[in-house]
A and B are shown apart, each in its own frame.
Chain A
């Protein structure tokens, strides 16, 4: 049929429901019917249990097509399996579309036990379609196999030397500042430090602590010996990942799979497909707006809450247009790789980073503007630290806005809201720019602006970082933060990072405390876009 594609190289994964559909499949096997060779069947108790993270992981691990075969609507043994599967399939199809793999590589179908003929027809048709599409092209670097003990010890010694861990005076300032310790979690930064010095990093408590660390940088801020704890944790996680396969990725590793898939050069994302008409972009500009992962977040978290982080990106573009800057956007924009690096996967991070830097150089991009604090830190600082040599200038949208607002005859409409502000740890502490959003906040004309009890350099985290280590303490931390926001008497919590929005919104979902915790969230970019206007 297809002579230009090596058929046997295709991997089509079939998740098959144990109940109705499996009987049909058995019939096909009994009758020795020609089930396509590319199909690899995984029998599952219910297709509803194959969640979105597993579906995406299949692609990250090299599947070219995934079929989810369950029961006809109404025949699900567990009632909701079919509906759940359909919903999951839809979400992952949308995600695959933006990633550039194409939603058509994933399909859901339901069959009754006696519909073996129909099942065969479906499998053959799907296989032919995937063949026509060709290989998906995702090739990721697996975790390096376990190191031998000598190498391992050497790596730890190097880590201690690189981050000057011996300078730790065991004074405990880190624990007394750490948001996790303060919320009551048995967590101690200095205990991690001594565990690394003594080589006992595989004690269960230590390992759990390393993956729970928020890497928010408060301890680094307070440490009298200036031990850069976030950077130390970042490296330590890499050692863990080399030593064994970590299972610390939350949301089933959905976002890690997403990022790993994008680290393959053969994958061409289709970002920015549906920009609102009034937004102007210029495919020849040397100024690039780098968006980030918000559209994926909105698809994934749309299931639980009303996630609208993509609006931040659209409002950023509107603000650039407002100041007559018509930027370029990359139709095939990839992830910056922040979360891969901060969850120990330096190999795939570096692949992503190299692709990004190379692409921006080839396109002759001179200035990159971004509004996501993680993209900003990663492109601005981390790429250089990790040995890449970006030749473009990276500026945060706030820097651009501050400069333009200072220079131009613009004003702000009054905003009839009492506002408070949640700092982003990446921008505020790790990049040391807590003053930057405040300059803009001061220009706004709200009914009231009041800082939370812990703010700016002392601000506490939204509860998670790099999609690892979410637990009940993260939730407690988020609740504490929301209570602080309420204590200011504000009715609008202004944020500076899409993840702060996602995490704080998640904590508000608590059915018992919804009333007390509920507060409207809006990104600073959107607040500015709503109120800014030309004078004259």
Chain B
């Protein structure tokens, strides 16, 4: 297999259970990059038994130049929404990869790279629909990785979700996006040693 790792190319794997909307999340990512941000993108989605309940995945490549090979061997970004998915792709991670997980669904053991966690399924339940966990994760991913622009994703979401649920999905996206921004802020605070409200 040839390796086409260019600096302008972002390779993403989104993984989880079938039914979580993993493929949809991947498709929104790729569509946003190409239609919204005017970049090149590809999507390879896992067909087969996985997509009917097992671990499934979507492989997305976003690039400034034409993409010659759509499969992802070593993801720059791994979004894991199930333990099985994480276990499957964890060995492909590099120290400079970025790992995003649903903290209630994935427990990490010796992550080789930087990782960011969000309780996306719990947040979706609080919003009233567990099915929106993928959209929340998409918001989180957008804020943390900046692989795509927030405006582009919002526009794509509005086109991709069932009629009538656009507003609620945008709300879910915003929720994940804000959580992502504040996670980054929390890191900065941690770096300067001020994580609490009261001086210890």
- Answer yes or no: B179 CB below 8 A from chain A CBs: yes
B199 with A536: CB separation less than 8 A: no
Q: Which listed residue (B117, B178, B185, B197) contacts A315, Cβ 8 A?
A: B197
- Which residues of chain A have C-beta atoms less than 8 A from B185's C-beta? 324, 408-409, 534, 536
Chain B residues with Cβ below 8 Å from A530 are: 196-198
**A281 CB, nearest partner CB in chain B, Å:** 15
Beta-carbon contact of B198 and A409 below 8 Å: no
Distance between Cα atoms of A528 and B197 in the complex (Å): 9
- CA of A409 to CA of B175 in the docked complex: distance in angstroms? 11
| A410–B196 touching, CB < 8 Å | no
Known: A407-B182, A408-B178, A408-B182. A534 touches B190 (CB 8 A): yes
Q: Is the CB of A410 within 8 A of B182?
A: yes
Tell me the residues in window 274-298 of chain A with beta carbons closer than 8 Å to chain B beta carbons: 278
| Contact assessment for B196 and A532 in the assembled complex, using a CB-CB cutoff below 8 Å | yes
Contact with B along A511-536 (1 / 0, CB 8 A): 00000000000000000111011111
Contacts of B180 in A (CB 8 A): 409
Please encode chain B, from 162 to 188, with 1 for each CB lying within 8 Å of some chain A CB and 0 for all others.
000000000000010011101111110
A536 with B197: CB separation less than 8 A: no
Shortest Cβ gap from A465 to chain B (Å): 30
Query: CA A322 – CA B189 in complex, angstroms?
Result: 9
- Which A343-380 residues have C-beta < 8 A from chain B? none
Closest to B196 in A: A533
Of A315, A318, A533, A535, the most chain B CB neighbours within 10 A belong to A535
User: Which residues of A, 305-347, contact B by the 8 Å Cβ criterion?
Assistant: 315, 318-319, 321-322, 324
- Number of B interface residues in the complex (CB < 8 A): 20
B198 contacts A529, C-beta separation under 8 Å: yes
Give the shortest distance, in Å, between B55 (CB) and chain A (any CB): 27
Measured CB to CB, the closest approach of chain A to B40, in angstroms, equals: 32
Q: How far is the CA of A325 from the CA of B109 in the complex (A)?
A: 37
Instruction: Label chain B's interface by main secondary structure.
Output: helix
Q: Is B65 interfacial (CB-CB < 8 Å)?
A: no
Q: How far is the CA of A534 from the CA of B175 in the complex (A)?
A: 17
Chain B residues near A413 (CB-CB < 8 A): 196
List, in ascending order, chain B residues with CB within 8 A of A319's CB: 197
Which B residues between 110 and 128 are near A, CB-CB below 8 angstroms?
116-118
In the complex, which residue of chain A has the Cβ closest to the Cβ of B103?
A535
CB-defined contacts of B189 to chain A, threshold 8 Å: 534, 536
> How far does the alpha carbon of A407 sit from the alpha carbon of B175 in the complex, in Å?
7
Does B195 make an interface contact (CB < 8 A)?
A: yes
> B182–A315 contact, CB under 8 A?
no
Within 8 A of B (CB), among A401-422: 407-410, 413
Of B175, B178, B199, the contact of A278 (CB 8 Å cutoff): B199
With A407-B179, A407-B182, A408-B178 given, is the CB distance from A536 to B190 under 8 Å?
yes
Interface centre among A321, A532, A536 (most CB of B within 10 A): A536
Q: Which residues from B are CB-within-8-Å of A409? A: 118, 179-180, 182-183, 185-186
Which residues from chain A contact B117 at a C-beta distance below 8 Å? 535
Assembled-state Cα–Cα distance A409/B136 (Å): 13
CB of A318 within 8 A of CB of B197, answer yes
Question: Of residues 389 to 407 in A, which have CB atoms within 8 Å of B's CB atoms?
Answer: 407
Q: What is the distance, in angstroms, from B140's C-beta to the closest C-beta of chain A?
A: 9
Closest CB of chain A to B148's CB: distance in Å? 21
Complex Cα distance A319/B198, Å? 8
Shortest Cβ gap from B30 to chain A (Å):
27
Query: What are the residues of chain A within 8 A of B196 when measuring CB–CB?
Result: 322, 413, 530, 532-533
Least CB distance from B199 to A in Å reads: 6
Q: Select which of B116, B175, B178, B198 is within 8 A of A536 by beta carbon.
A: B116
Residues of B contacting A528 with CB < 8 Å? 197
| CB neighbours of A278 from chain B (8 A) | 199
Minimum Cβ distance to chain B for residue A403 (Å): 11
Nearest to A535 among chain B residues (CB) is B186
Residues in B with CB closer than 8 Å to A322 are: 196-197
- A410 and B186 contacting across the interface, CB-CB below 8 Å: yes
Q: Which residues of B contact A532 (CB under 8 A)?
A: 196-197
Residues of A contacting B178 in the complex (Cβ-Cβ under 8 angstroms)? 407-408
CA distance A154 to B25 in the complex (A): 72
Select the residue from A319, A409, A528, A530 with max chain B CB neighbours within 10 A. A409
CB nearest to A279 among chain B residues: B199
Q: Given A407-B175, A534-B189, A536-B187, A321–B182 Cβ distance below 8 Å?
A: no
Q: What is the minimal beta-carbon distance from B193 to any residue of chain A, in angstroms?
A: 11
The answer to whether B198 and A315 touch across the interface, beta carbons within 8 angstroms, is yes
- Contact: B182 with A533, CB < 8 Å? no
**A-B residue pairs, 6 tightest by C-beta:** A536-B186, A534-B186, A408-B182, A322-B197, A409-B183, A536-B183
Known: A407-B182, A536-B116. 14 other contacts (CB 8 A): A315-B198, A318-B198, A324-B185, A408-B182, A409-B180, A409-B182, A528-B197, A530-B197, A533-B195, A534-B185, A534-B195, A535-B117, A536-B186, A536-B189
Binding site for B on A (CB under 8 A): 278, 315, 318-319, 321-322, 324, 407-410, 413, 528-530, 532-536
Of the A-B pairs whose beta carbons lie under 8 Å apart in the complex, a sample of 16, sorted by A's number, is A318-B198, A322-B197, A407-B175, A407-B179, A408-B179, A409-B118, A409-B179, A410-B186, A413-B196, A528-B197, A529-B197, A529-B198, A534-B185, A534-B189, A535-B183, A536-B186
